Amino acid sequence: MVFNSTAFLVFFIIFFQIYWWTNKYTSINIRNVLLILASYLFYGWWDWRFLSLIFISSLTDYIVGIGLQKTTSISRRKILLGISLLVNLGFLGFFKYYNFFIASLNEFLSYFSININTQTLNIILPVGISFYTFQTLSYTIDLYRNKIQPEKNILAFFAFVSFFPQLVAGPIERASNLLGQFKQKKVFDYSEIIAGLRLMLWGMFKKVVIADNFGVMVDQLLLPGTETSGISVMFGAFAFAFQIYADFSGYSDMAIGIARTMGFDLMRNFKTPYFSGSFREFWQRWHISLSTWFRDYLYIPLGGNRVSLRRSQINVLITFLVSGLWHGANFTFLLWGGFHGLLLVLERKVKIRLPRVLSVMLVFIAVVLLWLPFRAESMQHLSEMAVSLFQFSNYHSGRLIEVINEFSIIRFILLIVVFAAFIYTEWLIQQKDFNEWIGQFNKPWRILSYYLIIFIILILGNFSVKPDFIYFQF
């Protein structure tokens, strides 16, 4: 079930009414039972078999948490932490990386004429496994570090792990922020409901108008195995940059908005990252919940910047290589993460002062080009795009014009106008969210804006494509 589907609309309308009735007339525990059941229905709508993974992960970390509280023995605490890591990373490693490592091992050994006949498996990747795995891991690691207290209420803990607004694509929440909210009685607040609906509307606009329309162009411009031109690859990379941003930040806005209508506060995940003046700033504004997770649970434990300059640079590279691998079991993601790590290292070493406008442009161009390995389906596909991109004699626009012509002229012009208005709005918003920004205006202007956005969604929204979000595959 996805946010921009009819099934979810029906689900949420029914759930919303039952939720607030339950919250008003019953206990917090019953409300949390409702949240767990609704979240399991939401996730099981895709494939009910994988509910067992969420259940086992939740139960394991709940028991580990209680165990960590009861012992002060360092060896026992390490064993308990190891159990949590083994279960959670074991699931993640098998479903996401088994085939990747087996295929890589077979290819490596073939260079030495060694054949071990290890077969890959037909494994379905569970939606959202990378997100809820990291969320539960942060809980047990923080317990091990004595930063938080264990949760004894099993219903609150299970609701925390499976909370459906952010279950399959984040934001990746910390127990210190979200878990306690499941033990609070929620009070119906009209202003918070409106704030949540605003974010849901803005996220829906970004998804179906920007991301899904640009996605159609990207799929054709960057199609593997086809002859293309440098200009098509450049335009495809630019379109993908805004497809993935609008797609993922749109999901985050909707997730935060849905949670807000229920009285829950989730962390910001994006802060208009394409207006960043450095790569460090970009990663402080892009997928913030993941960036801070890797900072706190990988980069800092490796030594962070408290060690020698050379060692800290290695720490940066390791962190971004692992981040790349987190995104997908493919060497293209390792390249994407590795290049971002290298740029951060170079940026720290070579400090050049440039006007803000120029630095924003340079960072944006580099980020757009680095989306190519992220988008590539294989190293062969990446190599095809790279060859086309650097063949300057091949900058004909035939393929691009063909793709544009598949839109009606009026629709394409309207899409470009709306896209320009979207970029301008993003610039006005800067590091605020849409709710904070639009809340500054008088009521008549706000209402006019809502109707205008709904009208644009109905006129330009691409409802003909499969409505999955890009980050579901991670």
- Confidence at 102, pLDDT banded by 50, 70, 90: low
Q: Answer whether 467's CB lies under 8 Å from 2's CB.
A: yes
Q: Reply yes or no: is the peptide bond before residue 444 cis, omega within 30 of 0.
A: no
Q: Answer whether 418's CB lies under 8 Å from 209's CB.
A: yes
Mean pLDDT, to the nearest integer, of 218-225?
A: 84
Q: Evaluate if residue 357 carries a pLDDT over 70.
A: yes
Q: Evaluate if residue 401 carries a pLDDT over 90.
A: no
Mean pLDDT of the chain: 89
- For residues 236-245, one letter each, b for 16 or more C-beta atoms within 10 angstroms of the residue's C-beta and e for the rest, the string is bbbbbbbbbb
Q: Answer whether 179's CB lies under 8 Å from 264's CB.
A: no
- Confidence at 202, pLDDT banded by 50, 70, 90: very high
Tokens representing residue 104 in the block: 């890589």
Marked catalytic residue, from 327, 340, 381, 396: 327
- Confidence at 302, pLDDT banded by 50, 70, 90: very high
Q: Evaluate if residue 390 carries a pLDDT over 80.
A: no
Distance between the two ends of the chain, CA-based, in angstroms?
16
**Looking at per-residue confidence, does 254 or 468 come out higher?**
254
- Confidence at 470, pLDDT banded by 50, 70, 90: confident
| Whole-number pLDDT of residue 3 | 86
- Residues 129-151 pLDDT 10s: 888 999 999 999 999 999 999 99
Q: Answer whether 326's CB lies under 8 Å from 297's CB.
A: no
Q: How far is residue 60's CA from residue 87's CA, in Å, rounded to a whole number?
A: 8
Residue 297 CA to chain centroid, in angstroms?
Answer: 18
Instruction: Return the sign of the alpha-carbon dihedral for residues 400, 249, 199, 8.
Output: positive
| Whole-number pLDDT of residue 426 | 93
**134-148, 388-402, 418-432: least confidently modelled range:** 388-402
Residue carrying the six token digits 């807000």: 260
Mean pLDDT, to the nearest integer, of 109-135?
A: 72
- Confidence at 26, pLDDT banded by 50, 70, 90: very high
Q: Evaluate if residue 391 carries a pLDDT over 80.
A: no
Q: Evaluate if residue 473 carries a pLDDT over 80.
A: no
Residue carrying the six token digits 């406008």: 357
Q: Among candidates 460, 449, 429, which has minimal Cα distance to 197?
A: 449
Q: Answer whether 183's CB lies under 8 Å from 432's CB.
A: no
Mean pLDDT, to the nearest integer, of 88-94?
A: 87
Q: Answer whether 57's CB lies under 8 Å from 88's CB.
A: yes
- Confidence at 106, pLDDT banded by 50, 70, 90: low
Q: Answer whether 137's CB lies under 8 Å from 115's CB.
A: no
| Whole-number pLDDT of residue 408 | 78
- Residues 255-277 pLDDT 10s: 999 999 999 999 999 999 999 99
| Cα–Cα distance list, 323 to 200, 251, 363, 381, 445 (Å) | 28, 20, 19, 21, 42
**Does the active-site annotation cover 381?**
no
**61-65, 69-73, 113-117, 448-452: least confidently modelled range:** 113-117
- Confidence at 2, pLDDT banded by 50, 70, 90: confident
**109-113, 188-192, 458-462: least confidently modelled range:** 109-113
* pLDDT over 70, % of the chain: 92
Mean pLDDT, to the nearest integer, of 293-322?
A: 92
Q: Among candidates 57, 263, 64, 44, which has minimal Cα distance to 161?
A: 57
Q: Evaluate if residue 350 carries a pLDDT over 70.
A: yes
| Whole-number pLDDT of residue 119 | 64
CB atoms within 10 A of CB 430: 11
Mean pLDDT, to the nearest integer, of 209-235?
A: 85
Q: Answer whether 65's CB lies under 8 Å from 52's CB.
A: no
Mean pLDDT, to the nearest integer, of 363-373?
A: 95
Mean pLDDT, to the nearest integer, of 315-337?
A: 91
| Whole-number pLDDT of residue 297 | 95
Q: How far is residue 205's CA from residue 198's CA, in Å, rounded to a whole number?
A: 11
- For residues 172-183, one letter each, b for 16 or more C-beta atoms within 10 angstroms of the residue's C-beta and e for the rest, the string is bbbbeebbebbe
| Whole-number pLDDT of residue 418 | 95
Q: Evaluate if residue 454 carries a pLDDT over 90.
A: yes
Q: How far is residue 174's CA from residue 178's CA, in Å, rounded to a whole number?
A: 6
- Confidence at 394, pLDDT banded by 50, 70, 90: low
* pLDDT over 90, % of the chain: 63
Q: Evaluate if residue 458 carries a pLDDT over 60.
A: yes
- Confidence at 284, pLDDT banded by 50, 70, 90: very high
